[in-house]
Amino acid sequence: MRRAILLISVTVCFVVGADFQTFKQEALKQFPKLIQQKGNIAIAKENQAKLLRPFNPQLELLGSRYEDGSGFETTLQIPYRLPDYMRDLKKRAVSEVEVQKAYEFVLKARFLKNLELLYTRYVYQNKLLKPIHSQISIYKRLLSIAKEKFAKGYGKRIDVLKLQTKLLTLQKSLLDIQNSVIEAKIKLQKYAGFSGNIEPNGFLYKHFDFSGRINPAEIDWYEKNKKRFLYLAKEQGHTIKRINFTVNYEKEPNSGILRAGISIPLPINKPKQEVAIAKMQANNVALDLELLKKRFEVELQGLQKQARMIKKSLNLLQKTKKQQKKLLDLYIESYKIDQSTLLDILDAQKAYISIEKEIAKKLFLLNINQIQTNYIKGRYND
């Protein structure tokens, strides 16, 4: 019963419109690449068991026919991996699984970053509706004043026509932005891999933190890859990996012989090439890792500088917005008594709406910056 209630509540949530956290958790469960990677981890574990699986003993039976009777010969061979080799083989086998687990975190971190970026763009497109609605509201107010002035005989017919035309243009702009909101939502749903409804409830970040060190999921993945090749080199470097214990019993008509021995491979041709290849592969991964770290360091420094400039710009815009609103209201009140022109109001209104749009854009850029910073710092690695 409780499970049924839970399923109904989740369904209702996505019909009405989920918040981002609910949407994200549902998307994570259904993301195909993560599901596929869990399969790759399971395969790596099976390969690990296969690598460490003991070799089967071998039994050989032979029958003999002599002039004075018959006999037989039995040989039992038991393969035995040497302890030092077995220890290094275990490290290699475990490292194969660890690489796949680390890559799962890479996929998850990339998914969360991209999901947040797409949601942020969806919110930004929705935020652009507010300035348009504000413009429409102002123009309707102005149109009402213009019509009243014209009716009383001291207004201009051209002002009424201008405002009516502007309102029609704004309604077209509103439809265009609404279409952009729908497109952004569809992109988000397509990437998430399911069509659950989600509302643009606001930007994800209102407080920003750009400090810290680099720790993206890729770093751990590269380090695990490097270790994997080093363990492979060590495992391949063993000249004697196993020996065979042999027990032989031979029965002749008049006697029986029991033999016991050991078979040891002669390391004439050492696995130099295998070791060299594995070490070169480990070195290549190490070089890629250093390059990756440098790139992320440069990117983080750039993001931090960018964020400081955006914050300063945002503070100035918010102060300017207050002043511009006062100026716009003053012009509208003056227009009622013919102390300002329609052109004055339109210029002031245009400046005010432009500031509103710019503030939305700065908040959008700060959120994008924060998401990229979060990824570099490893905040999606859990």
Q: Other C-beta atoms within 10 Å of 295: how many? A: 12
Do residues 82 and 240 make contact, with C-beta atoms less than 8 angstroms apart? yes
The amino acid present at 244, given as its one-letter code, is N
- Look at residue 224 and tell me if it is in a domain: yes
Q: Other C-beta atoms within 10 Å of 45: how many? A: 16
The amino acid present at 370, given as its one-letter code, is Q
Q: Is 10 helix (H, G, I), strand (E, B) or coil?
A: helix
Tell me the C-alpha distance between 164 and 166, whole Å: 5
Residues in the chain with pLDDT < 50? 1-17
The confidence score (pLDDT) of residue 6 equals 37
- Look at residue 127 and tell me if it is in a domain: yes
- Look at residue 369 and tell me if it is in a domain: yes
* Number of domain units in the chain: 1
pLDDT tens per residue across span 71-113: 888 999 999 999 999 999 999 999 999 999 999 999 999 999 9
**H or E stretch covering 71:** strand 69-81
- Look at residue 64 and tell me if it is in a domain: no
For the record, the structure tokens of 7 come out as 């399923």
**H or E stretch covering 259:** strand 256-263
Tokens 């990824």 map to which residue?
375
Say which residues have a Cβ less than 8 Å from residue 177's Cβ, sequence separation at least 6: 125, 128, 129, 132
Check: pTM over 0.75? Answer yes or no: yes
- Look at residue 229 and tell me if it is in a domain: yes
DSSP label at 198? Answer: B
Tell me the C-alpha distance between 258 and 69, whole Å: 19
Do residues 226 and 62 make contact, with C-beta atoms less than 8 angstroms apart? no
- Provide the CATH number for the domain around residue 352: 1.20.1600.10
| Structural domain of 205 | 22-56+83-239+272-377
The amino acid present at 223, given as its one-letter code, is E
The confidence score (pLDDT) of residue 302 equals 93
The confidence score (pLDDT) of residue 333 equals 83
The confidence score (pLDDT) of residue 373 equals 94
The confidence score (pLDDT) of residue 81 equals 92
The confidence score (pLDDT) of residue 18 equals 65
- Look at residue 255 and tell me if it is in a domain: no
pLDDT tens per residue across span 294-318: 999 999 999 999 999 999 999 999 9
- Look at residue 31 and tell me if it is in a domain: yes
Tell me the C-alpha distance between 275 and 288, whole Å: 20
- Look at residue 117 and tell me if it is in a domain: yes
